[in-house]
Amino acid sequence: MDKNGRAMVVGAGIAGIRAALELAETGHKVLLIDKSPHIGGILSQLDYQFPSDHCGMCRMLPMIDRDDSSQYCLRKGLFHENIEILLSTEIISIDGEPGNFSITLRRKSDWVDSQRCIGCGICVSVCPVDVSDEFNEGLSYRKAIYLPVPHAVPSPYTIDAKACTRCGACEAICPTHAISMSSQERKQFRILVVDDEMIVRSSLMEILDTEGYSAEMAESGQKALEKLAQQPYQLMLTDIKMPGMDGVELLQKAKSLYPDLPVVMMTAYATVETAVEAMKIGALEYLIKPFDTEAIIDKVFKVYEKFELVHARKEEVGAVILTGGTAFFDPKQDKNTYYYGLLPNVMTSLEFERIFSGTGPTQGNLVRLSDGKPIRKIAWLQCVGSRDIQINADFCSSVCCMFSIKEARIVKEKSNGSIETVLFYMDMRTDGKSFQRYRDQAESLHGIRFERAKVHSIAPDADAGDLMLRYTDISGKLHEETADMVVLAVGQRPSSAAKLAESVGIGLNSWGFVQTSPFSPSKTNRPGIFIGGSFSGLKDISESVIQASAAAFNASKTIQRATCNVQRAKTDAPLLQKPPRILVAVCVCGNKNPLLRGAGVCQELVKEWMSDPAVIVAEFTDQICSEQGEKSLAELVGKHKPDQVLIAACLPYVYGKRRRELSQRIGIDPLLTEVVDISSLSDSEMIRCAVGMGIEKLRRMEDLPIETLPVKQKALVVGGGIAGMTAALGIADHGFEVDLVEQGEKLGGNLLWLNSSIEGYSMQTLLEETLPKVEKHPLIHVHTQTRVVSSYGQAGDFITTIESKETGVQTIGHGVSILAVGGTEAIPTAYGYGKSSNIVTQKELEEKLRNKTLDPLKLGTVVMIQCVGSREEPRNYCSRVCCPTSLKHALYLKEQNPDIDIYVLYRDMMSCGFAEAYYTQARKSGVIFIQYDPSNKPEVKISGNEVRVIADEPIIGKKIEIAADLLVLAAGIVPNLSNSLTHAFGVSSDQDGFFQEADSKWRPTDSMTEGIFACGLAHSPRSVSESVATAEAAAQRALRILTKNQLSAGRVTAKVHHSLCSLCERCIEACPYEARMIDPEEEKVMVNPARCQGCGSCATVCPNGASYIQGFSRQQMLAVIDAAFI
Amino acid sequence: MKTEHSEASDILAPVRKMVQACIQCGTCTGSCPNAFAMDYTPRHLWRMVMMGLTDEIFNSLTFYLCSACYSCTLRCPRGLPLTEAMETLKQIAVKENRLVNKPSQLFYRNFMESVRRHGRVRETEFMTLYFMDMKHPFLPFRYMPLGLKLLRKGKLSFQLPSGGNTLDALFRKAVEAEEANP
């Protein structure tokens, strides 16, 4: 493959994993790097996710060509053919241009050889160091040698170079000699200590010696220069005040001779200014006497780290995706009115996630860490570090409301409702599809209390450890409330990787988050470098995942342009039709397994296995997982030429790639290799059983041809709004034909009437730029005034009938369908809509402003009512765009005519993310916002031309009456996804009529039917740029199929013995992937191999044993079970 | 009630400008140590400023009772200068002659008078001036217990400082500046 067909993904959090998988699935090679020693990012710390309150990350695993990836828990590890993962690796520089980037990486030295480490953990038991564990947010302690994430596999122990004292205890005890301390490396780091006082010199020497550095001393500047002339040093520490040549003079002389020598000045308080001056002429740093040992170690280590990190590595890639994630606000900063860090039971939401996690410091028990007391009451405080102008956070972090509700619900569930929970909030921002119902349920079903109030401070209560919260409710009454624990819902901050982005020329916004392009939220100002996930700020998981897919899409486009076609190499090794010849290789795992140490036991086992005619050779080898072991296995295979290979070792999923490599080398099918896990078996009898089971499985392994389905490399996009056009363009730019079907006369959808985004970007420009590209694209066939009549088929092979007045009925064959039918403004049924020309919707106002039929100068008073028909049954969802739209209009009207009085009546202002700044701006410009409760809605009185709005002002506690020249209703969005359309495509819609995704977090643009995707407003209410992101994500998902000329099913799929089948259809019901159907003509149950994921649900419900899973046949499984009992 | 932003409410303009970005979260009210004694809580007051309820505002005691502890200013998530806004309301009340709270006004006046005379407050003199201005013969008796307490702790001095009129020039300048720049 061309080197430029590769992409690099920087940051292996959820977005990074997603982007990497997306590219890997379209056949690109991906280099996934992370600076931490583990993958998973912040999600490795979070066990439960909204809305299922479970994990479910594995749903992101490939479903097409699933054999390329280990079907294994993604939280634990990612194993894909096309993805190479580099951990503890950072980017130093990115040079070059799209299609041809040259990237310099540096990898922290590994003291633990992951090839040799068997994860026994003996090293941890001897490590004398205790440091706070960042995995548990500092709530527990760990050793200097540790597992960064306890559940990760293969479990790579890591040494915390900073905390490690280099005592060498772990190195000595490691049974596989996997640890090699870089003590030798440290000894190569030579430090010269210059001071005229003996006591200072010797104490410094002692500190540096213990840390493992080579330190030498000189008592004067002259002596120091002599020493420097004799041999090179990597660091010099020098005193400033010395008789004869002083420190500054020494610095000058040393720097002129050895310009690269880092010099740290040592100074007393009195001469700090001199030290600062010294830094101007080249000193690196200064240390203040008397010394703080920690500070010295820290500073020296920083210099050492640079010296040590010489393992720079160059990589050539075609595109780069930055998925640097997000950081969180530290409540200790600034005023800290909640006494975080001072009161033990005040914790951040992330810390609290660790409290209820099974791998957390309390093993998931809801007790207080400070005194072990069971928790009875928890209070959540929202907007800590968000929506706070005093700390430069004029933005809403977008995720805290939902994660706090989730945490409260989990607490309720875990405690059977016995723990009291209360959320203190300003606006409860439930701005997603199912969010509002989730919140309503939290209140009505789980009994979580929602209190609209801002707690201003927390004080210790009389009872030890309890906390007193003071706040004022909406009516102005003052309250004091105690809680056992307070959780601060901390807001987001730019991650440390933002600096990296800046250093490679990517702009940041005023809060330090990465700035992305208008209307294309994954593009940056540097072509070829894209942003995925929450790196550009303030996104929840599903938006992050969508944006990661969008970034992958753009990266793929870049690579596609640079190279052309990505071809995949598939080997089809001949399958076996003769008696089995099995090779058994048992790993003794560095003699860790005491059972296998005795030669007698081994011989006995070998003898027994060899007595089976199917086994041609059985051998014990050491560490098959290591390079050495792999070699010896290859030798064995070369010598005996077996047809099947059984490896008894550990962690079968890790071997996926290696098994394939091995099979390729020997020339057998990977299915004819098997790995059994014997790492946790405690007696030789069990090992005998396990190996016996493996032998039985291989003995009866059948011929499993991979079924392939030809792909029609063409796409159908339904809907010609911005989402549909973006998706169509994206697919066409990848070189595939697209049929774009639009019901209306013109392409453009909602862009035809929208003026500008809240940020002021013109929608017209966007439309003008996009339209010609679509209309003139040679691969896009636009069908306007056309509707879809029916569609049937499966991923890769759909046939759709479309109908238009002009051309009549037409049939299109295509491989994927993207539904981008959009949405429209709901028609209000309340507040006198339709009874007066002075009552309009937001859309009508936008149109009036656009065609200038409304003169802002003639308006005296404007009232806007939010949530008209939204966020209450039957349309109990937030439409997400209405609050920003009202703000946009209010600001526009105020700008045109500052004398207009504008009143916005709202329930919760949903100015999420950076839109919050416009909310502040609107308040500042004098727009009056009045909160109303759905149980007490504003009233509208119409008499003649006059419209009067009467509402309760909750703060003043009085009714106010406003005579409005214009009443604007924010009616919300309803999807255009009609029942006939969902029926035609066989997809489902949710209860509000939006597209029902396969999984709202992990497969947000997929339908349950592979090959059909959705984006834009038909998917969920969203802004234009968010719609573009879903369109790009859907296009990327579609490309997984389109880039292949045939789809290969997994090896392990379901089959039917038709002679045994009684057509009871239970299997059809049981199949979660809709892979089964009845063929009415043949009267047979058919399995769609591309949809089937080999889960086995059908086989278990089948009363006749007619349904079975290939590679898990009845005879084979029974033989395996027998082997286990013999 | 109809909200008003007419000319009458314009005297509130400087205060409105200060608190316009308020999101009614109530941090100020929660933080206020004197809120219990106020007829309108601080948040309520800001809302009245926004709504232009001039009469109600100047008939209330709220802003007189602000002891300028700055708790609200410290904590306001919008970073509004709330203590300053209270202060501004006091100034407007004086300027517009809309003082309803006579004791408060006399208290401030006499306090500043004492400061003007000596550059600091002389408690005894200040008390005398205040009681005389209040023209309430029994008022001193009400303060008796407090007075005795202060006396016992040596907080009251009967001596007037020597010198006198130390801040006269400063006060004159302030008046001039105010007149030049109304």
**Whole-angstrom Cα distance, residue A400 to residue A294?**
36
Strand residue runs (E) in A339-456: 346-348, 377-384, 420-425, 449-452
Count of H helices and E strands in chain A?
28, 55
User: Is residue A447 very low, low, confident or very high in pLDDT (cuts 50, 70, 90)?
Assistant: very high
User: Is residue A279 very low, low, confident or very high in pLDDT (cuts 50, 70, 90)?
Assistant: confident
Total domains in chain A come to: 8
pLDDT at A599 > cutoff 70: no
pTM score, whole prediction: 0.86
Q: What is the CATH number of the domain that holds B12?
A: 1.10.1060.10
Same domain, A368 and A405: yes
The H or E element spanning position A734 is none
Same domain, A834 and A722: no
Q: Could you tell me if A88 and A110 are in contact, meaning their C-beta atoms sit under 8 angstroms apart?
A: yes
* Identity of residue A101: F
Task: Flag whether B2 is in a domain.
Answer: no
What is the reported pLDDT for A823?
A: 95
Total domains in chain B come to: 2
Span A928-952, pLDDT tens digits? 999 999 999 999 999 988 999 999 9
**Whole-angstrom Cα distance, residue A969 to residue A698?**
69
What is the reported pLDDT for A228?
A: 87
Same domain, A964 and A1029: no
Q: What is the CATH number of the domain that holds A1105?
A: 3.30.70.20
Chain B residue numbers touching A455 (CB-CB < 8 A): 30
Span A133-164, pLDDT tens digits? 988 988 889 999 998 888 877 667 888 888 88
- Model ipTM value: 0.84
Q: Could you tell me if A493 and A326 are in contact, meaning their C-beta atoms sit under 8 angstroms apart?
A: yes
Task: Flag whether B48 is in a domain.
Answer: yes
* Identity of residue A681: L
Residue whose pair of structure tokens reads 């439309």 in the numeric block: A767
**Whole-angstrom Cα distance, residue B31 to residue B26?**
8
Q: A37: buried, middle or exposed (CB in 10 Å: 19+, 13-18, 0-12)?
A: buried
Task: Flag whether B62 is in a domain.
Answer: yes
Task: Flag whether A1119 is in a domain.
Answer: no
HEC secondary structure over A1047-1110: EECCCCCEEECCCCCCCCCHHHHHCCCCCEEEECCCCEEEECCCCCCCCCHHHHHCCCCCEEEC
Centre a 10 Å sphere on the Cβ of residue A1004 and count the other Cβ atoms it contains: 27
* Identity of residue A157: Y
Task: Flag whether B1 is in a domain.
Answer: no
* Among the partner residues A455, A923, A960, nearest to B1 by beta-carbon distance: A960
**Whole-angstrom Cα distance, residue A1056 to residue A1097?**
13
Chain B residue numbers touching A454 (CB-CB < 8 A): 25-27, 30, 77
Same domain, B139 and B157: yes
Chain A residue numbers touching B40 (CB-CB < 8 A): 476
Same domain, A640 and A681: yes
Q: What is the CATH number of the domain that holds A199?
A: 3.40.50.2300
Same domain, B88 and B108: no
CB neighbour burial string for A608-634, b if at least 16 within 10 angstroms, e if fewer: ebeebebbbbbebbebbbbeebbebbe
Span A282-294, pLDDT tens digits? 888 888 877 788 8
HEC secondary structure over A304-327: HHHHHCCCEEEEEECEEEECCCEE
Task: Flag whether B134 is in a domain.
Answer: yes
Task: Flag whether A1114 is in a domain.
Answer: no
Residue A597's φ and ψ, nearest 5 degrees, are: -75, -40
What is the reported pLDDT for A573?
A: 46
pLDDT at A663 > cutoff 80: no
Same domain, A357 and A478: yes
Task: Flag whether A459 is in a domain.
Answer: yes
Nearest CA in chain A to B28: A456
Same domain, B90 and B23: yes
Span A891-909, pLDDT tens digits? 999 999 999 999 999 999 9
Q: Which of A761-770, A1002-1011, A1035-1044, B127-136 has the lowest mean pLDDT?
A: B127-136
The edge-to-edge listing of strands for the beta sheet with A457-460 is A457-460, A467-472, A478-483
Residue A766's φ and ψ, nearest 5 degrees, are: -60, -45
Same domain, A192 and A176: no
Residue whose pair of structure tokens reads 């303060």 in the numeric block: B143
Flag if A453 and B26 touch (Cβ within 8 Å): yes
Same domain, A14 and A92: yes
Q: From the CA of B97, how many Å to the nearest CA of chain A?
A: 25
Task: Flag whether B153 is in a domain.
Answer: yes
**Domain around A19:** 3-108+315-325+495-562
Three-state secondary-structure class, residue A792: strand
Would you give the DSSP letter of residue A355? H
Pure H helices in A656-717: 656-666, 684-699
Same domain, A395 and A357: yes
Q: Could you tell me if B39 and B45 are in contact, meaning their C-beta atoms sit under 8 angstroms apart?
A: no
**Domain around B77:** 7-95
* Among the partner residues A476, A478, A959, nearest to B44 by beta-carbon distance: A476
What is the reported pLDDT for A306?
A: 73
Q: What is the CATH number of the domain that holds A1015?
A: 3.50.50.60
**pLDDT (mean) for A1008-1036:** 94
Angle between helices A541-562 and A1024-1042 (to 10 degrees): 60
Chain B residue numbers touching A457 (CB-CB < 8 A): 30-31, 75
Task: Flag whether A1125 is in a domain.
Answer: no
pLDDT at A1 > cutoff 50: no
Same domain, B130 and B171: yes
Q: Could you tell me if A1119 and A688 are in contact, meaning their C-beta atoms sit under 8 angstroms apart?
A: no
Which residues in A have their CB inside 8 Å of a CB on B?
A: 335, 337, 383, 387-390, 426, 453-457, 470-474, 476, 478, 901, 920, 923-926, 928-929, 931, 953, 955-956, 958-963
Same domain, B65 and B107: no
Same domain, A1024 and A1076: no
| Residues 6+ positions from A628 with CB-CB distance below 8 Å | A622
**Whole-angstrom Cα distance, residue A481 to residue A473?**
12
Same domain, A967 and A1042: no
Pure H helices in A258-363: 272-280, 293-308, 349-355
Same domain, B90 and B112: no
The edge-to-edge listing of strands for the beta sheet with A958-964 is A939-943, A946-953, A958-964
Pure H helices in A807-910: 842-850, 882-896
What is the reported pLDDT for A686?
A: 82
Task: Flag whether B60 is in a domain.
Answer: yes
Angle between helices A882-896 and A842-850 (to 10 degrees): 40
Task: Flag whether A63 is in a domain.
Answer: yes
Task: Identify from B10, B19, B27, B53 which residue to disrupt to test chain A contact, counting A C-beta atoms within 10 A and taking the largest count.
Answer: B27
Same domain, A598 and A555: no
Task: Flag whether A751 is in a domain.
Answer: yes
**pLDDT (mean) for A228-237:** 87
Question: Could you tell me which residues are beta bridge partners of residue A787?
Answer: A803
Tell which residue, A1023, A756, A763, A752, has the closest CA to residue A895: A756
Same domain, B146 and B171: yes
Residue whose pair of structure tokens reads 């300003």 in the numeric block: A426
